[in-house]
Structure 1
């Protein structure tokens, strides 16, 4: 199975830093996945009125209202074929926002062969789907910008109710760590949520690490 990022980026995949090629080349064959462990230097949210919206997201593991600095963080990426036969990669991010509380931000990225686009399904039940626009900058870093959001029924969500997500991930050869920066903004209400930090990775061979049920969505969305 070709990795979903290689499919989405095409020839640009080879412009990624070699460590990013290895990371986003996970396809379930040589490695079933990779697990990152690190620290988010800063986790932030927008103005106070955004808190109820973000708190609602905790019900399905989509965003959360807590903020902090030096927040322990893990990210679990596993490649598999979903029940509809689509190449899939999990993005399960866990933030230790306090000594007694963890928050998760779950997503599954699915390659749509029909539309030729990488679709990001958000949360435990894939209620929201968003097309992703990928790129590679001059330093070999990966960039992602979200497009239109659609509900589980396929209806397009108004822009006033959603946010545009921008991600940049890179590899720092000096520290041997991956860096990440994410920001979600709403065109009317401004910044909503984001985080910045770094992590290291370990890769998992398929004969030693099956895809855990805990990282897969509880329900899959057949719509692309």
Structure 2
């Protein structure tokens, strides 16, 4: 049983059937998809040094634009402690440049949340909550965050957090998944966002 099904319980079955297939990610059942991001936007220009730092960690990037080719790979792995993990590799193709927004997720069964370590190597941590919308879409929301410095994890005050909201749904008319991601800071506003569509390479 996937970590997403376990954390959502009965709500998992309220998702569109193709989203259930999409998130039934477990050993031997990776997910890959390709598509196009209709729009990718960044925050204010004075934050570009932060975005360039993010490039080194495969987390953020300064480029933005429209109709950007996209690939997503979700790979099940086993951590050193035997913990089931899902590696998220999101690649954006700006001409000859590749930019990434990567993460490693696992389940905290005691708190019933998804643990999300962002960047390679890890730079930020977020608690994630998963909910089902009235349209049978999946809504993922980040909660408490920490800055990760090696083995040290420092809780971030709210004003320094980049809180993400991800909405993913299945569009039957197009036989495709629609994705909208927005990362906001309470003080600055939108730091990063992208939206578009992708199709599965390996499920039907």
Asked if structure 2 preserves the Cα contact closer than 8 Å seen for 1:86 and 1:112, the reply is no
> Is 1:157 matched up with 2:156?
yes
Rounded to whole Å, the distance in 2 between the matches of 1:83 and 1:12 is: 30
96, 102, 105: which one aligns with 1:106: 102
Rounded to whole Å, the distance in 2 between the matches of 1:50 and 1:191 is: 11
Rounded to whole Å, the distance in 1 between the matches of 2:163 and 2:26 is: 27
- Equivalent residue of 1:96, what SS? strand
Aligned position for 1:22 = 21
Per mean C-alpha deviation after superposition, the further-off stretch among 117-126 and 64-73 is 117-126
Deviations 1:110-144 (A, max 9, x none): 11234332011101122321000110001110001
Rounded to whole Å, the distance in 1 between the matches of 2:6 and 2:121 is: 25
Deviations 1:73-125 (A, max 9, x none): 0000011221121111111100002x221101110111123433201110112
- Kindly report which structure 2 residues correspond to 1:1-224, keeping only aligned pairs within 5 A, or say none: 2-29=1-28, 31=29, 33-97=30-94, 99-152=95-148, 153-203=152-202
Asked if structure 2 preserves the Cα contact closer than 8 Å seen for 1:23 and 1:34, the reply is yes
**Structure 1 residue 44, shift from structure 2 partner:** 0.4
Give structure 1 regions of 4+ aligned residues with deviation exceeding 4 angstroms. none
Rounded to whole Å, the distance in 2 between the matches of 1:151 and 1:84 is: 22
**Structure 1 residue 203, shift from structure 2 partner:** 2.5
- For normalisation by structure 2, the TM-score amounts to 0.94
- For normalisation by structure 1, the TM-score amounts to 0.85
Rounded to whole Å, the distance in 1 between the matches of 2:160 and 2:145 is: 10
C-alpha RMSD of the superposition: 1.3
Unaligned runs of 5+ in 2: none
Rounded to whole Å, the distance in 2 between the matches of 1:77 and 1:19 is: 16
